[in-house]
């Protein structure tokens, strides 16, 4: 009559054989998929990998947020840029967080249109990093507050002669 230990050992051995068979089947599917150009992970799920103690291990799959397929067209970026420009004209000196909240868009959706508007010089900025403020066209405070450059007065010949004499005396005193 088999003992409890023998029964447990037999069930564990059967379980291990099943796991080995499933692992072989999964490896075979992965190789076939790679050779035929198939997808690596099911759509809608991404598996993150972490490096722990020198070995790469799989982390829990990321479920929920699925990246949009494809890039935005130039027209989509231009339309978003027009919305951003209209918002900035209505709210000069606003930050990217205010633009994002005002238009109800994500930060990543406004980044490229802002770069393009800046390259086209339709959007001006002041400040750096989180202190960056946006202005439409040349409406920034620097453009408005920049004073005109004063013209230099010509030096009178007498004044020039006196300066040159003082300079020559200073040089003579040095040596």
- Judge whether 9 lies within some domain: no
Range with the poorest average pLDDT among 44-53, 144-153, 157-166: 44-53
Return the exposure string of 124-145: e unless at least 16 CB atoms fall within 10 Å of the residue's CB, then b.
Answer: beeeeeeeebbbbeeebeeeee
Per-residue pLDDT, 47: 53
Query: Which is it for strands 55-63 and 45-52: parallel, antiparallel or unpaired?
Result: antiparallel
C-alpha distances out from residue 116 to 17, 39, 111, 139, 159, Å: 59, 34, 9, 18, 54
- Cβ–Cβ under 8 Å, residues 127 and 134: no
Rg (CA), the chain: 35
Per-residue pLDDT, 71: 84
- Judge whether 119 lies within some domain: yes
pLDDT per residue as tens digits for the range 137-156 = 864 444 445 566 677 778 88
- Judge whether 55 lies within some domain: no
Q: How confident is the model at residue 53 (pLDDT cuts 50, 70, 90)?
A: low
Per-residue pLDDT, 57: 54
- Judge whether 166 lies within some domain: no
- Judge whether 33 lies within some domain: no
**Dist. CA 73–CA 81, nearest whole Å:** 12
Is the per-residue pLDDT at 98 higher than 90? yes
Supply the CATH number for residue 95's domain: 1.10.10.10
Number of domains in the chain: 1
- Judge whether 135 lies within some domain: yes
What is residue 38's DSSP assignment? -
Could you tell me the residue range of the domain that residue 85 belongs to?
Answer: 74-144
Per-residue pLDDT, 56: 55
**Dist. CA 117–CA 82, nearest whole Å:** 9
Within a 10 A sphere around the Cβ of 94, how many other Cβ atoms?
18
Within a 10 A sphere around the Cβ of 85, how many other Cβ atoms?
19
Residue range 134-139: mean pLDDT, rounded: 77
Per-residue pLDDT, 141: 43
Q: How confident is the model at residue 51 (pLDDT cuts 50, 70, 90)?
A: low
- Judge whether 132 lies within some domain: yes
């Amino acid at each position: 009559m088999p003992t409890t230990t023998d029964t447990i050992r037999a069930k564990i051995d059967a379980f291990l054989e099943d796991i080995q068979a499933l692992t072989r089947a999964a490896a075979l599917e992965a190789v076939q998929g790679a050779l035929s150009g198939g997808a690596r992970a099911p759509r809608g799920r991404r598996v993150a990998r972490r490096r722990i103690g020198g070995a790469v291990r799989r982390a829990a799959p990321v479920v929920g947020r699925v990246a949009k397929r494809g890039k935005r067209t130039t027209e989509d970026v231009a339309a978003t840029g027009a919305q951003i420009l209209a918002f900035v004209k209505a709210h000069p000196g606003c930050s990217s967080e205010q633009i994002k909240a005002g238009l109800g868009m994500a930060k990543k959706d406004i980044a490229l249109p802002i770069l393009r508007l800046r390259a086209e010089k339709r959007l001006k900025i002041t400040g750096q990093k989180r202190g960056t403020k946006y202005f439409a066209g040349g409406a920034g405070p620097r453009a408005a507050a920049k004073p005109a450059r004063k013209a230099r007065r010509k030096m009178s010949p007498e004044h020039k002669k006196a300066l040159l004499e003082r300079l020559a005396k200073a040089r003579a005193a040095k040596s």
